[in-house]
Structure 1
Amino acid sequence: MFSSAVLAPLLLAGLQAAAVSAVPHIEAVGSKFFFENGTQYYIKGIAYQLTPDDPLIDEAQCKRDIVRMSELGANAIRVYHVDPTANHKACMSAFADAGIYLFVDLDTFTTQIEQTNPHWNQTQFDRFKEVLDEFQQFDNTAGVFVGNEVLTTAEGSHAAPFVLAAARDIKAYRDQKGYREIPVGYSAADIPALRPMLQNYLACSDKAADRLDFYSLNAYEWCGDSSYTTSGYDQLQKNATGYNIPIFFSETGCNQPTPRSFDDQAAIFGTEMEDTWSGSIIYEWIEETNDYGLISYGPSVAGPATNTIVEEGYTRQGTPSPVQPDFNNLKSQWAKASPTGIALSEYRKSTASIKAVECPASTSGGWAVDPKAPLPTIGEAYNGQTATETGSSGSSGSSGSQTATRSSATTTENGASPMIGVTNPATERLLAASLALSSIFGVIALWL
């Protein structure tokens, strides 16, 4: 039998473990993100595709990188490609301990929605679900993307309904499975000819099930010694004013001319934009051929890789060394960026008045989407004029030759479902904690 000297510490440890709260979730309310405690969440993120396939499986490397990310002041990462069958618990736990949240893309090079041949089929949907199934278990998963820069030209608007169809279906699947309401969004290329039609189309439905939970933009307009007006950020702000869902920069950080000053961060987190925009994600973590990196693990390696820590000519493991002065420039900008935001309790007083933005009308030679047309269903593809049934399975037809590496400011990587009522996950967690505490107290009572 256990003596009281042995049992008491064990019981105390059990009580402490049961009392420890999980990492607070991020939720989208109206046009803003909030922590569970009601504090507004602003994104200070890094695009973190350290390895091409999955950067979230090497616990030791994650922890080394987290030290530098925390030094920068980062509270989020964006990961473009993951292996949903891998074990991500150690890395995700380490990021959570550091207060760093994840925005993850659901697609792959072979399942992404493509502008040249847009379609939405069961193969794509199944892959998206696998990634969601894996990452919904982590409290610090802040959001998922159903696409990255699918539309890259003024003539690409016919692909927009397929992006929205993917969001609709993954949201319905999320709710059907009883997962918490992880926000579902899209990362758009910054194409002036598509502004603001694309962002408005993806958010304009009166039904929450048929619109995005957030919209984000990959923008590289603020370059060198620029300003809020010279860069065009004032127009981005104008287009986003009154937007009904959260909007943020999912990539930013122009690198010409060098060095990178990141002066745009002062505007994004300052009085010009903080009430509308929810922060930014800086492209990117590792220094590669495109010279966007904040961190290096050593010089580039010529010729074929000779070991597993070198991929595509760059060492991707070891001690992260800051690329200077860029690293310190961003660190300095973020240290000065302290938007106050608004308390959720106060913000909720105005959410009833938030209305969906007006749907953009189809125009000849311009935005070519009929806002009244039904969204594609699984198995439909674009035939040059409308979406048509093609069957519910098959690959997306991607060549798979694209990479997650940015070589210029723009890259080409990459019927409403019913809402199903489920038990509130927060309630389930409280119930489980109560039962655990009751059991422990019962053991104490018996022991005494």
Structure 2
Amino acid sequence: MYSLAASGLMLALAGQALASTAALTIKGSKFFNADGSQFFIKGIAYQLTNNDPLADSTQCVLDINLMKTIGTNAIRVYHVDPTANHDTCMSALSDAGIYAFIDLDTFPTYIVATSPEWNQTQYSAYSKVMDAFHSYDNVAGFFVGNEVLNDGADSIAAPYVKAAARDMKAYGASKGYRKIPVGYSASDIPTLRPNLQNYLACGSNSSDAVDFFSLNAYEWCGQNTYQGSGYSALQANASEYDIPIFFSETGCNQPTPRDFGDQAAIFGSEMSGTWSGAIIYEWIQETNDYGLISYGPPAAATATGSGIVAGFTRQGTPTPIQPDWDNLSSQWAAASPSSTSEAAYSPSNSPPACPAYTSGLWLVSSDQALPTLGQGAEYSQPSHSSTSMASGSSSGSSSGTGSSSGTGSSTGSSTGSKSGSSSSASKTSSGSSSSSSNGAAAASSSGSSAANLGRRMPSALLNARDENWAVVGFGLVVCLVFGISML
């Protein structure tokens, strides 16, 4: 009996010791290392297929060994399998000094803006991911959603996103887990972003607010500038933010090659006092041409074989794509952000004011209660007079029309991140007060809901999803015709 107990204790201690990278903490609007130095994210979006990349120990170790050579200290993984074993990959990341941001939602459990709900199925699924990853000290944060809201009408979903963050924070606390930050990854929609940014952080109860806010922004394209790209407006809207803010996706690829010039601004004097770094989109090269590495030349779209999905090999020895790889390496090596120590830092920013209801722009009242678990699309929105309130938030820094976004847009991807359809993945840049002079062609934000799906679903799955809906639609028509004929 004693030997069995001792063996169990040794196994438990071994599991706790898997990650040697000490946990990060948040104080005010900044991340800090265990030694009290400020932490800035130099990250890469990492999702090879729709499968969990952290469950493939052989491939992830190969990839991590290359990632660390350019100073990568974080990755973002969009969907994981909570039943898989992640010890090898998480340990390899830790040994390389790399933290992981993990999305809690996946294909069937993300919040849908057009019919939002936060239900027990979603709660249970998110909880399982937290259960699977909470013990790794190099988990830097969890996302409860990615680009759920993409226009003013979608703002009805904001309370559900915030409720999901509230409940997942409470779940972790109830289980006695380390306090791992829970946040949200937003699309860069200029008329929506400031209100959403403030809404998710507002209120006197920090338990109801997200712990960090992040942005998927593709405004800075080619040889641009801090002013011309619209980054100056992003900074203006975030300068008084009381929680950490960072770029959860960035790296416009029009034109190519990418020089990643925005990194100099993000880690420079203009923004590093406010922003906590950036995650570059993305690791693997695909049709969308955003990749930093490849595993070999493209194959035919219909090709099959070991590791080949949608015409691209997705396993093997990673090979840097040049000159993009070296350009990013140079930018990160030259980064010298303005930092502070945790001991010397005294946060002074207060939570932003909750944005006021604005017809057609922001459809949530500043005093509207968050939905409880199980409230879905039937959750009624408060009534308002037909007279629109002043545009934007009641906070001076969050006017819905006063911010700017550049004209950078992103084309589609065929992996589990961006959409396989370039028309749906493009981002709007209209309505900005300053714009990028050489951004990619912008598209209407009406396609952004599809883009959100795409960030979760490879093009092969997108096509299958569309075919399934076509079958369902055909079946409904047949049933209707049959029913009419029986009358």
Give the aligned partner of residue 201 of structure 1: 199
Distance change in 2, residues 1:161/1:297 (3 Å): same
Deviates most, 28-37 or 17-26: 17-26
Please report how far the alpha carbon of residue 307 of structure 1 lies from its aligned counterpart in structure 2 after TM superposition: 2.8
The superposition leaves residues 69-120 of structure 1 with CA deviations (integer Å, 9 ceiling, x where unpaired) of 1122110000001111001000000000000000010001100001111111
Please report how far the alpha carbon of residue 296 of structure 1 lies from its aligned counterpart in structure 2 after TM superposition: 0.3
Give the aligned partner of residue 76 of structure 2: 78
Cα distance in 2, alignment partners of residues 332 and 238 from structure 1: 27
Give the aligned partner of residue 192 of structure 1: 190
Task: Name the % identity.
Answer: 59
Larger RCO, structure (CA 8 Å, separation 6 or more): 1
Amino acid corresponding to residue 210 of structure 2 in structure 1:
L
Cα distance in 1, alignment partners of residues 381 and 195 from structure 2: 19
Distance change in 2, residues 1:285/1:174 (3 Å): same
Please report how far the alpha carbon of residue 19 of structure 1 lies from its aligned counterpart in structure 2 after TM superposition: 11
The superposition leaves residues 210-247 of structure 1 with CA deviations (integer Å, 9 ceiling, x where unpaired) of 00000000000000111000000000000001101000
TM-score after normalising by structure 2: 0.76
Cα distance in 2, alignment partners of residues 19 and 133 from structure 1: 17
Contact 2:301/2:310 (8 A) holds in 1: no
Task: Note the 1:5-404 alignment, pairs <5 A.
Answer: 22-347=20-345, 350-351=346-347, 353-383=348-378, 385-386=380-381, 403-404=416-417
Computed over aligned residues only, the root mean square deviation of the Cα atoms, in angstroms, reads: 2.0
Please report how far the alpha carbon of residue 180 of structure 1 lies from its aligned counterpart in structure 2 after TM superposition: 0.6
Contact 1:109/1:402 (8 A) holds in 2: no
Cα distance in 1, alignment partners of residues 311 and 72 from structure 2: 27
Cα distance in 1, alignment partners of residues 114 and 351 from structure 2: 29
Contact 1:269/1:339 (8 A) holds in 2: yes
Please report how far the alpha carbon of residue 359 of structure 1 lies from its aligned counterpart in structure 2 after TM superposition: 1.1
Contact 1:219/1:409 (8 A) holds in 2: no
Deviates most, 365-374 or 289-298: 365-374
Please report how far the alpha carbon of residue 306 of structure 1 lies from its aligned counterpart in structure 2 after TM superposition: 2.8
Where does the alignment leave 5 or more consecutive residues of structure 2 unmatched? Answer: 1-14, 383-413, 428-450, 456-487
Cα distance in 1, alignment partners of residues 113 and 149 from structure 2: 6
TM-score after normalising by structure 1: 0.82
Indicate the SS of the match to 1:381.
coil
Give the aligned partner of residue 405 of structure 1: 418
Amino acid corresponding to residue 40 of structure 2 in structure 1:
Y
The superposition leaves residues 152-194 of structure 1 with CA deviations (integer Å, 9 ceiling, x where unpaired) of 1222111100000000000000000000110000000000111
Distance change in 2, residues 1:58/1:168 (3 Å): same
Cα distance in 2, alignment partners of residues 327 and 18 from structure 1: 34
The superposition leaves residues 367-389 of structure 1 with CA deviations (integer Å, 9 ceiling, x where unpaired) of 111121110111112348429xx
The superposition leaves residues 308-358 of structure 1 with CA deviations (integer Å, 9 ceiling, x where unpaired) of 4112221111111111111111111011012241000011xx23x331111
Cα distance in 2, alignment partners of residues 48 and 360 from structure 1: 34
Contact 2:269/2:338 (8 A) holds in 1: no
Amino acid corresponding to residue 210 of structure 1 in structure 2:
D
Indicate the SS of the match to 1:196.
helix
Indicate the SS of the match to 1:292.
coil
Contact 2:19/2:95 (8 A) holds in 1: no
Distance change in 2, residues 1:266/1:214 (3 Å): same
Task: Note the 1:409-428 alignment, pairs <5 A.
Answer: 409-410=426-427, 411-413=451-453
Amino acid corresponding to residue 417 of structure 2 in structure 1:
A
Distance change in 2, residues 1:133/1:21 (3 Å): closer
Cα distance in 2, alignment partners of residues 203 and 38 from structure 1: 24
The superposition leaves residues 405-447 of structure 1 with CA deviations (integer Å, 9 ceiling, x where unpaired) of 3444442235xxxxxxxxxxxxxxxxxxxxxxxxxxxxxxxxx
Contact 2:19/2:137 (8 A) holds in 1: no
Cα distance in 2, alignment partners of residues 306 and 195 from structure 1: 41
Distance change in 2, residues 1:18/1:182 (3 Å): closer
Amino acid corresponding to residue 363 of structure 1 in structure 2:
T
Where does the alignment leave 5 or more consecutive residues of structure 1 unmatched? Answer: 1-16, 388-400, 415-448
Cα distance in 2, alignment partners of residues 286 and 269 from structure 1: 24
Distance change in 2, residues 1:312/1:405 (3 Å): farther
Cα distance in 2, alignment partners of residues 18 and 125 from structure 1: 26
Distance change in 2, residues 1:101/1:162 (3 Å): same
Give the aligned partner of residue 434 of structure 1: none
Please report how far the alpha carbon of residue 59 of structure 1 lies from its aligned counterpart in structure 2 after TM superposition: 1.8
Amino acid corresponding to residue 404 of structure 1 in structure 2:
S
Deviates most, 175-184 or 153-162: 153-162
The superposition leaves residues 2-60 of structure 1 with CA deviations (integer Å, 9 ceiling, x where unpaired) of xxxxxxxxxxxxxxx99999421011111000112111100000000022211112222
Contact 2:268/2:338 (8 A) holds in 1: no
Indicate the SS of the match to 1:202.
helix
Distance change in 2, residues 1:18/1:180 (3 Å): closer
Please report how far the alpha carbon of residue 206 of structure 1 lies from its aligned counterpart in structure 2 after TM superposition: 1.0
Distance change in 2, residues 1:37/1:306 (3 Å): same
Indicate the SS of the match to 1:102.
strand
Indicate the SS of the match to 1:368.
coil
Cα distance in 1, alignment partners of residues 217 and 17 from structure 2: 43
Indicate the SS of the match to 1:44.
strand
Cα distance in 1, alignment partners of residues 125 and 230 from structure 2: 37
Distance change in 2, residues 1:110/1:18 (3 Å): closer
